[in-house]
Structure 1
């Protein structure tokens, strides 16, 4: 663990650009402000199974970073208070969140649900981090209209 991670109260939040992840980011930012900490917004990407078939020169990491920046801007606005660190990781989203959350105060994730009866269920990434995180996990449900689409 880096000295910076060890000395700073961090709230790690998973951001994928969805409505629930933006709601989780908003919640994490308010909590970080109350706790005197920083938000570490984490997004993860993986090469698609069809890698090599896409447009030449497409950079998945740059695209993920742009999605993260846009989600932060949309969720927190340009006049946001407090520090928000952006972390883009190549790898499995659940593993990236678990790794980033080591030594953190909290891990915050948004849950999309799937409508109807399955709305009570957690997604696979959320379920995995809830079961394996070494810090407390907060699951934020986004507004119903944000989960569709």
Structure 2
């Protein structure tokens, strides 16, 4: 008897409101299909080397700002907590392009889910550059989640 691989859903997650909506949709879809959910958080170094900034809190405490990698790890942990009851795999990936990292993961996926807009880009665009690139070049179906308007 041939083993059937699980349905694989890849989600691009950057912590934005729309990526949270994409994650929620993906969790429900994974439950419905008994699918494996692969949540990707992509980070890159700033154009210049990252130096920790010191921030002063409202209480007057001095704290170090997290590095881009630490921020991505925190987002991955947040995503995993949201996917209760689902087979979830989180990955943080260092890459200059979120779209290329998602497209690479899409090669082993049955469905990709992204928010229509993330943290980057210009307000007023209806679809972000990452979601447009992924939708245009993915080898599998792509679901682009738009914000709820009701």
Question: Normalising by the residue count of structure 2, what TM-score does the alignment of the two structures yield?
Answer: 0.77
SS in 2 for 1:112: coil
| 1:23 and 2:21 aligned | yes
Equivalence for 1:88: 92
- RMSD after superposition: 2.6
Of Structure 1 and Structure 2, the greater helix share is in 1
Summarize the alignment of residues 1-149 of structure 1 with structure 2, pairs less than 5 Å apart: 7-55=5-53, 59-73=67-81, 75-76=82-83, 80-91=84-95, 92-112=97-117, 118-119=124-125, 121-143=126-148
Q: How far apart are the structure 1 equivalents of 2:108 and 2:117?
A: 26
Post-superposition Cα deviations, 1:39-66, rounded to whole Å, max 9, x if no partner, equal 100010010012244459x643232111
Instruction: Name the count of aligned residue pairs.
Output: 133
Bigger radius of gyration, 1 or 2? 2
Gap regions ≥5 residues in structure 1? 1-5, 145-149
Mean Cα displacement is larger for which, 26-35 or 104-113? 104-113
Gap regions ≥5 residues in structure 2? 54-63
Find runs of 4+ consecutive structure 1 residues off by over 3 angstroms. Answer: 52-56
